[in-house]
């Protein structure tokens, strides 16, 4: 018997063959109440290695999303669009030259169910039974602020934007799939401009920070820090190794072109993520 070997191979089987392809932008799905966490995401600070179990959770989330969209498509009298007819790709919103971006699950329209013809943004999430009940009791905003910020910023990205012309989205059909019981929770989230601007400001501050933002808590066992990918830097004094040019404390984002530029040498780096470090580069923790 080689059961241990089998278990090892099984753990490897779900991992992507290529590294997960770190994004060259800050994703709108990553809003966090801790500004330092957002800073690390903006600068691409290496995270804790991902266990294979987590990849399986990600995959399960994608499968649930597909299942739910297929279900929606079988409902009569509602139009579900998974891809942007203008581009043939997933719907995308972006800000600050593309430094901040997000992709939403679908767009829908139904005069029959919604009483008007305006299109709505659609977002699907999954939750365990305990969290699902919180959605039912308290709604999205109070249950998961990260998701709430995400859909507010998505809707914000469709306002007054020439790419969206007359299709600005001011409501979101938010669906939560219960992973224990397969029940669905449905909520309509209204666009709130001031709230969306607040969340966007957090993302922008993280991109432009020239000092490490304050910690959310000094207590490593505080639940927000306990589940944070960057806790070793905050609570175990792990130093931030420079791997990417955007991590250098002298680098700033060009909010129009989407590039990065060096405030010391005036060099501009084209959407550069990896390598290209110069001897003048300095870690923010130096």
* Positions that interact with ligand SF4 (CB under 6 A): 34, 36-37, 215-217, 224-225, 228, 230-231, 234
Those residues with Cβ within 8 angstroms of residue 237's Cβ, 6 or more apart along the chain or in another chain: none
In degrees, rounded to 5, the angle at the alpha carbon of residue 183 between the alpha carbons of residues 142 and 196 is 30
**In the chain, where do the E strands start and end?**
26-27, 79-81, 91-95, 100-104, 106-109, 120-127, 171-178, 184-190, 251-253, 260-262, 268-269
What's the min distance (Å) between Cβ of 52 and ligand SF4?
Answer: 23
- Closest CB 224 distance from ligand SF4, rounded Å: 5
- Closest CB to ligand SF4 among 164 and 222? 222
126 vs 231, which CB is nearer to ligand SF4?
Answer: 231
Q: Which is nearer to ligand SF4, 126 or 144 (CB)?
A: 144
**Minimum distance of ligand SF4 from residue 31's CB (angstroms):** 13
Nearest distance, CB of residue 260 and ligand SF4, angstroms: 22
Which stretches of 209-272 are DSSP H helices?
223-226, 231-235
CB of 129 to ligand SF4, least distance (A): 26
Nearer to ligand SF4, 34 or 284 (CB): 34
Of 217, 241, 243, nearest in space to 228 by CA:
217
Identify which of residues 225 and 248 has a Cβ nearer to ligand SF4 in the complex. 225
Edge to edge, the sheet with strand 171-178 lists: 79-81, 106-109, 120-127, 171-178, 184-190
Q: Which residue has the tokens 């266990």?
A: 51
């Amino acid at each position: 018997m080689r059961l241990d070997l089998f278990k090892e191979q099984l753990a490897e089987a779900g991992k992507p063959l290529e590294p997960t392809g770190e994004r060259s932008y800050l994703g709108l799905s990553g809003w966090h109440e801790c500004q330092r966490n957002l800073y690390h995401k903006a600068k691409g600070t290496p995270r804790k290695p991902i266990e294979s179990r987590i990849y399986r959770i990600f995959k399960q989330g994608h499968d649930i999303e597909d299942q739910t969209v297929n279900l929606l498509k079988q409902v009569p009298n509602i139009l579900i669009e998974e891809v942007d007819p203008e581009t043939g790709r997933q719907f995308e919103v972006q800000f600050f030259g593309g430094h901040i971006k997000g992709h939403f699950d679908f767009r829908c329209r139904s005069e029959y169910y919604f009483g008007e013809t305006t299109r709505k943004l659609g977002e699907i999430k999954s939750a365990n039974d305990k969290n699902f009940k919180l959605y039912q009791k308290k709604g999205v905003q109070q249950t998961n602020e990260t998701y709430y910020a995400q859909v507010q910023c998505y809707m914000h990205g469709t306002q007054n934007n020439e790419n969206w012309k007359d299709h600005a989205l001011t409501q979101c059909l938010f669906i939560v799939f219960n992973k224990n019981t397969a029940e669905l929770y449905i909520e309509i989230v209204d666009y709130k401009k001031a709230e969306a601007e607040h969340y966007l400001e957090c993302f922008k501050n993280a991109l432009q920070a020239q000092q490490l933002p304050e910690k959310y808590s000094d207590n490593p066992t505080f639940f927000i820090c306990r589940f944070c990918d960057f806790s070793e830097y905050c609570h175990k004094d792990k130093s931030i190794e420079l791997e990417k040019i955007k991590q250098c404390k002298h680098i700033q984002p060009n909010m129009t072109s989407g590039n990065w530029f060096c405030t010391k040498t005036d060099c501009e780096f084209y959407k550069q993520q990896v390598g290209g470090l110069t001897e003048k580069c300095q870690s923010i923790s130096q």
